[in-house]
Amino acid sequence: MRKNFWKISLFILPLPLLAYVGPGAGFAFLGSFLFVFLAFFAAIFNLSTLPIRAAIRSVKRIKARSRAKIKRLIILGFDGMDYKLTRKLIEKGELPNFAKLAKEGSFLPLKSTDPPLSPVAWSTFTTGVNPGKHNIFDFLARDPKTYMPKLSSSEILPPRKVIKIGKYEIPISKPKIELLRKSKSFWKVLGDNGVYAQILRVPFTFPPEKFYGLQLAGLGTPDLRGTQGTFTYFSEERNEAFEISDGVCVKLEKNNGYYEGAIPGPPNPFKKGEILYKRFQLIPVDSNRAKIKTDDGEIVIQKGKLSPWFRLDFKAGIVKVSGIAQWYLHSLSPLSLYMSPINLNPEKPAMPLSHPSIFAVYLAKKNGPFATLGMAEDTWGLNEGVLDEEGYIQQVYNANREREKFHFDAISKAGDGVLVSVFEYTDRIQHMFWRYIDPDSPAPKDSDKKEVREAIYNVYKDADRIVGETIKRLKKSDIIMIVSDHGFGKFNRGFNVNEWLRREGYLVLKEGRTESGKWYEGVDWSRTKAYGFGLAGIFLNIKGREAHGIVTREEAEKLKREIKEKLESLMDEEKGQKPIEKVFLKEEIYRGPYTKNAPDLIVGYKIGYRVSWESAVGMVGGDIFVDNTRRWSADHSFTSDQIPGIFFCNRKIEKKYPTLADVPPTVYDLFGVKTPPFVEGENMGVKV
C-alpha cells in the first residue's frame, strides 16, 4: 500500500492549475488524477462518518415528513420556452400534454429578471432573490483593474505555491474552484431541513455545491480547453482565426492518400503559454466515410452524421487529462471536417462535474459518455458555418436524449423530496432557427428541409412529449411544475453601443484610431467616461473604482441619467423604430450588497434589437445599427415584460402573476420549511 501511495504521489504533486484560455471564458482545472484521488479520500472520510450523519439525517427526515404537505415535487425547466408561442401552439392543438396541465391545473406567464439573461434568471430561480443579492448580472463580469471580462458564475484561484525551474512551473499547492453566485440555493436550504433533492443540469451550478442530494452541473461548466466551448475546424486550406468566436481552424496535410494533423488541446500544465496537441490521421474509406485514428483508438465517421463520442487523452509528461469529442464530416473533396468542443470526460473528469463527485462517473458507467460542457450545443459552430443545420440539430437532440435518460432514471429512483431537471434545447433551437418563422429576418434561410424550417415547432412538440412521459411516471399525490427562465423574440438589428458612446463623446479611442479590436484594444481610458460591456450593461469609468477612472462619484449620477435619456430617445432612422424599450439605473431594480458589482446602466432592448456581436466583445467602430445576418436570429436581451416565460402546475395556484423568485418560497411551503428571511419571492399558494 505504501508503495502504491508513493507512485500516486508522483502523479499528483506536479499537477498545476492549467492556464487561462481566452478573456472571459478562461478556466483552469485540476488534473483528473488529482481530482479522483481527492474524491477517493473524501469517500473514505464519508464512509467513516456515515453512521453519525445517517442518524442526524434520519431525525431531520422524520421532522421534514411531519411538516410537509406533499411527498414529492418534480420541477421541469425548459430554457427559453416562450409564453406567447406556447399558448399559440396549445390553441392549435399541437401541445396536448401542456394543454391538459393548463386545463386541470395552472398555466400562467412567468416574469423573468432584468435583464432576462439565463445566468441572471436561473440564479434568481435558484435562490429566490434579485441579482443584487446573488451577484450574477450577465454571462461575463468585468475586472475593474484591467477592464477585461471574466466568467461571472465561477472562478479558479491559482495555487499559492509554485516552484519555477527554468521554463517549467511546478505548483506544490492545489487551485481552488469557487462558485461566484451568492445567496443560498433552495435545494441547500431543503437539505438543511432534511428534504432530499436531485438537481440535474440547472444552469450555473458549476462547481457543484455540497448538500443533501445529487447534482449534475449545467450551463457554465467549461470544456477541456478551459473555455465555454471552442470548436475545431479542419481543412486542406483554411488556417485562420474567426473574428468573433473562439473557434480554431487547423490545416491538415495530405500524405499518400490520407491526411495528418494535430488536435489542439488544453494548455501544458508545466510550460506557460504552450498548448498540448494530439496527432491524428484522417483516412478516407470511400466517398462518404473516413476513419479517424489516434493513439487513443479509431472511429469511422460518416458524411452528414454526427459521430458517437470519441475519447481524447492529452499528456504532459506523466500527467494525463481526458476529454471526449464528436466529429462531423462535411465532405472529403474538398476536405471539410468539424470537431466539437472537447468535453470533460465524465468517466475521468478533470474538474468536479457533480455532487457527490462519483455521481457523474456513475452516470457515464451506466449510460455511456455524455456531454458535460455547459453549452454543448455549438451555436458558434453553426454561426460560423463550420457545422451545418442538420448537424447542429443532431447535436442538440443527441445531448437532450442523454439528459432525458438521467431525468427518467431519477424519477424512477426518486423517493420523497424534489427533482429538478432542466432541458436547454428549447433555447438553443430558438436562437438559431427563429429566422425561419420570421419573414423579416435578414439572416440566411438557405434550407428547404422541413426538419430545419420547422425546427422551433418541432422542439416545442418534443418538449410536450417529455412532459407527457414525465406525467405517466408520476404518482397521484406528486406535484409537477414546469418553468422557463424567459421567453424569446426576434433579433434582426444589432446596436453598436460602444460606437454610439464614441460618437457621443463618452468613449474615446487613442490618437489615430477610428476603431478598436476585441476587449477595448485601442481605447484611451484616460479620456473615456463610459463603455458598453456584455449583452446589456454600460459601466461608467469611475475614479477610484476602475483602474483609470476619470468620472467622480459626484458626476456619475448626472452622467448616468444623461446617457439613459439619450438612449431611450434614440431612433434607428433607417427603420424608423426605437431600438430601446427602457434603460434601468442599477439602483432602480437591484437591492443588496452586490449591487455595487452591477453595470451602472442596464439596457433593455425592444424585440428585434440587441447589442451587436462586435460590441458584445468590446469592439468599437462601424455603423451604429447593423443588420444581424448570422444564424443566431433570436434572443432575449429585452425587458422582462416583453418576453415572459412559462409556468405550469398540475394544481391551481393563488398568485396571478408569478415570478422566478417565487419558486423557492413555494417549494419551502410545500415541504413545510420556513422561508429564510433573505428570500424576496412570494409563496404562489399551490392548492394541494
Q: Is residue 498 part of a domain?
A: yes
Number of neighbouring beta carbons within 10 Å of residue 286: 9
Q: Is the residue at 594 inside a domain?
A: yes
What stretches in the chain show pLDDT beneath 70? 1-47, 49-64, 172, 238-239
Query: Is residue 102 classed as helix, strand or coil in its secondary structure?
Result: helix
- Cell numbers linked to 24: 472571459
In a domain, 37, yes or no: no
**Residue 652 resides in a domain:** no
φ, ψ for residue 300, nearest 5 deg:
-95, 125
Q: Is residue 435 part of a domain?
A: no
In which residue are the cell numbers 484521488 written? 37
- Tally the residues of the chain: 688
Angstrom distances, CA of residue 220 to CA of 59, 171, 374, 437? 35, 26, 5, 29
Domain annotation covers residue 249 = no
Return all residues near 411 (Cβ < 8 A) that are at least 6 apart. Answer: 74, 419, 470, 473, 474
Neighbours of 247 (CB within 10 A): 21
Residue 188: in which H helix or E strand, if any? Answer: helix 186-192
Show the cell assigned to 655.
398568485
- The three three-digit cell numbers of residue 106, written as one number: 395552472
Confidence at residue 174, expressed as pLDDT on a 0 to 100 scale: 75
Residue 305 falls in which region: left (phi positive, over 0), alpha (psi -120 to 50) or beta: beta
Of 277, 111, 228, 158, the closest CA to residue 643 belongs to: 111
| In a domain? residue 564 | yes
Q: What is the pLDDT of residue 176?
A: 81
Q: What's the rounded Cα separation, in Å, for the pair 617 and 532?
A: 9
β-strands 310-316, 319-325: how paired?
Answer: antiparallel
> Is there a domain that residue 36 lies in?
no
* 480 sits in which H/E element: strand 479-483
Q: For the chain, what is the domain count? A: 1
Pairwise CA distance, residues 343 & 551, whole Å: 43
Which is it for the CA torsion 383, 389, 395, 399, positive or negative?
Answer: positive
pLDDT at res. 8: 26
Write out the residue range of the structural domain in which residue 568 sits: 491-635
> Is residue 30 classed exposed, middle or buried when 0-12, 13-18 and 19+ CB atoms within 10 A define those classes?
buried
Give the pLDDT confidence score for residue 57 in this predicted structure. 58
CB 25 within 8 A of CB 227: yes
